[in-house]
Amino acid sequence: MVEEIGRTADGDIIINVGPQHPATHGVLHLVITINGETIKKVEPHLGYIHRSIEKMCESLTYRQFIYVTSRMDYLSSHINNHACALCVEKALQIEVSSRAQVVRILLDELTRIASHELWWGAMAMDLGAFTPFFHAFRERETINDIMEETCGARLTMNYIVPGGIMQDIHPNFQKRIKDFIKLYKSKISEYDELVTGNIIFQNRMKGVGYLSAEDAISFGVTGPAARGSNISCDVRKIYPYEIYDQLEFVEVLETGCDSFARYMVRIREMNQSIRIIEQLVDNIPEGDFQTKTKAVLKLPKGEFYQRVETARGEFGVYIVSEGGTTPYRIKFRSPGFSNLSALDHMARGSKLGDLVAIMGTLDLVIPDIDR
């Protein structure tokens, strides 16, 4: 039988979703096979925004390569930078002052909230509700203003450096954060009114994109996507870094295994982040913001790995050093890539409209997948 163009042998239609499509939030290219409205197969094609960041890092020094990581998962650039700094510090056994540690965690959690806010808006927009997007940006902008004031940039900060943070915090830092917490607490109930409680939204999310715990593990899904399947995988809890082990917060777990569970995980995670911030914001210890390090960092020969929990899941930095000033090889384990791999499995058998919802709950950031 001669295959018609754009059709499989069974007569199913093949559609290109992307690389320019409103729902893929970037240049992701999905080749989907559908029968009517039912999805039979989803095949992600990558490479549209590949910048060979890992190779680029091999020619950068240990101070320089951190800035590149902000360009991967640009929504949690602080956390990426943090991972790299931690890895270098671990290799060189640099002690970071407690002030720097607290500020780093504060910024991490703010980043996480900002990322989840954006995700919430984009998620609702994927499902056809445009208003939440703008409402989410109101809170997110406040965080961005804090970042801008202290770190000098709104998205790609490069504020965390090996040994601490680049500059001391801005005098307004604490006050601004407290203002933000107040704003957040006054607005978070609106999220439920607008989206979470909405019957249409719940029907669109519940029972859609089923991902069992075993499948989540075998696909390497991490972060909120896996916690929606009741897998405890929060790096902040199981491999605590910095002072996370001294903080009070719970790892958010949901048992629904569906899109709604993943949605709820993120919503509840924002509240946990607020809880962490509340614990720390008044207790920033005095001291140096940066430990004195050598001008030129030389990592000892060996292999070093550090993982952190970004807004999307587990982010890992793996450095192979030959003892020089630049890494011999760097590998980033980005959460988005593994999460995307489960998309096909989750979307099979559901409707075309569900694909968008499932993609939304995976919270894909394409430069993070493609690097």
Partner 1 sequence: MLSFSNISKSIDTWLNATFNSTWTMLFEMVIAGVGVISLFAILGLVLVLMERRVAAWIQIRLGPNRVGPGGMLQSLADTVKLLVKEGMTPDGADKFLFNLAPFIAIIVAMLLMAPIAFAKNFQLWDMNIGVLYVTAISSIMVISILMAGWASNNKYSLMGAMRSGAQIVSYELSAGLSILAIVVLSGSLNLNDIIQSQADGWWIFKGHIPVIIAFIIFIIAVTAETNRAPFDLAEAESELTAGFHTEYSGMKFALFFLAEYINVFIVCAIGATLFLGGWMPFHIGNWESFNHIMDYIPSSMWFFSKTFFLIFLIMWFRWTFPRLRIDQLLNLEWKYLLPISMFNLLLVTAMAILGWHF
Partner 2 sequence: MQEFKKEVSFVEKNKIAIKKKNMFIVNYIKDVFNGVKSLVVGLRRTMYYFSHHKEIITEQYPDNRDTLVLPDRFKGEVILVHDENNEHACTGCTACELACPNATIKIITKFDISPEGKKKKAIDKFVYHLELCTMCNLCIVACPTDAIKMAQTFEHSVYNRAELTKVLNKQGSKIREGVE
What are the residues binding partner 1 (CB under 8 A)? 6, 13, 15, 21-23, 37, 124-131, 133-135, 138, 194-195, 198, 200-201, 203-204, 351-356
Listed residue (234, 217, 227, 220) closest to 309, CA to CA: 234
Residues 144/153, Cβ–Cβ less than 8 Å: no
Please tell me whether residue 341 binds partner 2 under the rule CB under 8 A: no
Closest CA to 225 of 354, 346, 57: 346
Residue 355's identity, in one-letter code, is L
Which option in partner 2, partner 1, none does residue 151 bind, with CB closer than 5 to 8 A by kind? partner 2
Q: Which segment (10-18, 105-113, 272-280, 341-349) binds partner 2 by CB under 8 A?
A: 341-349
Among candidate residues 26, 28, 25, the one with its CA nearest the CA of residue 47: 28
- C-beta separation of 42 from 348 below 8 A: yes
Q: Which helix (H) or strand (E) holds 315?
A: strand 314-321
Task: Give which of partner 2, partner 1, none residue 52 binds (C-beta under 5 to 8 Å, depending on kind).
Answer: none
Q: Which position among 331, 345, 352, 353 is part of the footprint of partner 2 (CB under 8 A)?
A: 345
> Helical H runs in 219-342?
224-227, 235-238, 259-281, 335-341
| CB closer to partner 2 out of 75 and 235 | 75
Q: CB of residue 200 vs partner 1: minimum separation in angstroms?
A: 5
Distance CA 76, CA 343 (A): 22
**CB 369 to partner 1: min, Å:** 19
Q: How far is the CB of 165 from partner 1 (least distance, A)?
A: 33
- 331 phi, psi to nearest 5 deg: -130, 130
Rounded Cα gap, residues 123 and 41, in angstroms = 22
Among 7, 51, 138, 294, interactor with partner 2 by CB under 8 A: 138
Extended beta strands in 53-207, E state = 160-161, 164-165
Q: Which is nearer to partner 1, 121 or 224 (CB)?
A: 121
Question: Whose Cβ is closer to partner 2: residue 161's or residue 226's?
Answer: 161
Query: Out of 62, 65, 219, 304, which residue is the one contacting partner 2 (CB under 8 A)?
Result: 65
Minimum gap (Å) between residue 273 Cβ and partner 1: 24
Site for partner 2 in 3-42 (CB under 8 A): 40
- Residue 194 makes contact with partner 2 by CB under 8 A: yes
The one of partner 2, partner 1, none whose footprint includes residue 130, by CB under 5 to 8 A per kind, is partner 1
Distances (CA, A) of 249 to 106, 109, 279, 306, 332: 14, 12, 10, 22, 27
C-beta closer to partner 1: residue 71 or 204:
204
Binding string, residues 203-232; x marks residues near partner 2 by CB under 8 A: ----x--x----------------------
Stated as kind and residue range, the H or E segment containing 31 is: strand 29-35
Number of residues that bind partner 2 (CB under 8 A): 38
Residues in contact with partner 2, shown as a per-residue x/- string from 161 to 180 under the rule CB under 8 A:
x----xx--x----------
Question: Residue 60 or 92: which CB sits closer to partner 2?
Answer: 60
Nearest-5° Cα angle at 34, 359 to 362: 10
Residue with tokens 């439920």: 192
Instruction: Pick the closest to residue 38 from 348, 359, 341 (CA basis).
Output: 348
Could you count the other beta carbons within 10 Å of the beta carbon of residue 49? 16
Distance separating alpha carbons of residues 335 and 75, to the nearest angstrom = 13
Q: Among residues 161 and 233, whose Cβ is nearest to partner 2?
A: 161
Question: Which entry of partner 1, partner 2, none binds 150, CB below 5 to 8 A by partner kind?
Answer: partner 2
Closer to partner 2 by CB, 65 or 241: give it. 65
Nearest alpha carbon to residue 289 among 188, 163, 122: 163
Instruction: Give contact residues for partner 2 (rule: CB under 8 A).
Output: 40, 60, 63-65, 67-68, 131, 135, 138, 141, 148-153, 156, 158, 161, 166-167, 170, 190, 193-195, 197-200, 202, 207, 210, 345, 348-350
